[in-house]
Amino acid sequence: MQENEILVKEQLNEVVMKFVIYKPLVARAARAGQFVILRGRDGGERVPVTLVDWDEKAGTITVIIQSIGKSTFMFNSLKQGDCFLNILGPLGTAVEMKNYGTVAVIGGGVGIAEVYPIAKALKAIGNKVISILGARTKSLLILEEQMRAVSDETICCTDDGSYGQKGMVTDALKACVNSGEKIAAGFVIGPIPMMKFTSKLMVELGIEPYASLNPIMLDGTGMCGGCRVSVEGKVRFACVDGPMFPARTIDFDELIRRTGEYKLQEKTAVEKFEKDHQCKLGLH
Ligand SMILES: Cc1cc2nc3c(=O)[nH]c(=O)nc-3n(C[C@H](O)[C@H](O)[C@H](O)COP(=O)(O)OP(=O)(O)OC[C@H]3O[C@@H](n4cnc5c(N)ncnc54)[C@H](O)[C@@H]3O)c2cc1C
Ligand code: FES
């Protein structure tokens, strides 16, 4: 067994892989809400991914990666026994753990994996945890069993109604509050528009909202300014001040604009990667 080695690789659905990696120093220091920066090869991109789970005794960390572009396609093609080139972390500020009473933990798509350690830690200190999991369709809804194990109640929603309730996480949250639940705080991770509208709804429902932001990150240590976000009208760096922030005053529209700035380059990189990959496989 060597540092950064993939000990277990598991496919969770057509685009999402789970990796258990040998990384004892990170496993020893990890806290809920933190992340690592991965590189697959020399000259490769630096990719932030959430620490989903860790086992200090075994010296392992678990990350869950959705194939979305060139780097994540490459990572998800690694095999058991392969090694990541570097793993930097744990990075970011851990989520402050408090006993709120009842909390809502809301994950959308691969955001379910990112919110899992927060649900687990909030439950461990005695909160009543209501988890609301959302996905476009049944096959994209991940970690239901694991979320149920760390929640008092788990509600699954799919946009197309193929599993659980038909509709969005906001509908489920509203129904929960209307049924009499007194929720003090809510933690949401998922696509930016989902986090924007869920945070807005939480404010309307009297729930203190928190959202984990995913701007483009480079160094992950507060030096490059790439991950700049606006919270309470102030500039904050998501890699050191976050990624979880109180969500009442996050400028989500600025975040959407900034994460979309490199769409053209990202598209070109994927097209080149697919072409090279197919050539290597002798497909054309
Ligand atoms: C704190 C944090 C935690 C994250 N946790 C997870 C996780 O647990 N699992 C997971 O699958 N994804 C996670 N992400 C998102 C992941 O970092 C991006 O999907 C990945 O960087 C995309 O790289 P790519 O080359 O495959 O795609 P690209 O085609 O390069 O980009 C696709 C989209 O990913 C985002 N992105 C691109 N580069 C970066 C970068 N360097 N930093 C941040 N976002 C980027 C942009 O929105 C971009 O439009 C997290 C992001 C942050 C900031
Ligand atoms: S990633 Fe460079 S300052 Fe945050």
List pLDDT tens digits, range 56-111.
999 999 999 999 998 999 999 999 999 999 999 999 999 999 999 999 999 999 99
Residue 163: φ, ψ to 5°: -155, 145
Which one has a higher pLDDT value, 271 or 283?
271
| Site to substitute for ligand 2 among 36, 45, 218, 236, most atoms within 8 A of C-beta | 218
For 111-145, write each residue's pLDDT tens digit. 999 999 999 999 999 999 999 999 999 999 999 99
User: Ligand 1: does its nearest atom lie under 6 Å from the Cβ of 214?
Assistant: yes
Degrees (nearest 5) of the Cα angle 95, 99, 100? 95
The chain-wide mean pLDDT, for the chain, equals 94
Calculate how far, in angstroms, residue 173's C-alpha sits from the geometric centre of ligand 2.
33
What was the pLDDT predicted at 284? 38
Does residue 226 register a pLDDT over 50?
A: yes
> Once rounded to an integer, what is the mean pLDDT over residues 178-198?
97
* Ligand 2 atom with the shortest distance to the CA of 225: 3
Instruction: Give the model's pLDDT for residue 261.
Output: 75
Does 72 sit in the ligand 1 pocket, CB within 6 Å? yes
Q: Return the pLDDT at 283.
A: 41
Determine the distance separating the centroid of ligand 2 and the alpha carbon of 218, expressed in angstroms.
6
Atom of ligand 1 nearest to the CA of 259: 47
What band does 278 get if pLDDT is binned at 50, 70 and 90? Answer: low
> Does residue 207 contact residue 104 with C-beta atoms inside 8 Å?
yes
d(CA 16, CA 113): 10
The percent of residues in the chain predicted with pLDDT above 90, rounded, is 88
Write down the pLDDT at residue 282. 44
| Nearest Cα residue to atom 3 of ligand 2 | 222
Task: Delineate the domains of the chain, giving CATH numbers in brackets.
Answer: 6-91 (2.40.30.10), 95-212 (3.40.50.80), 217-284 (no CATH)
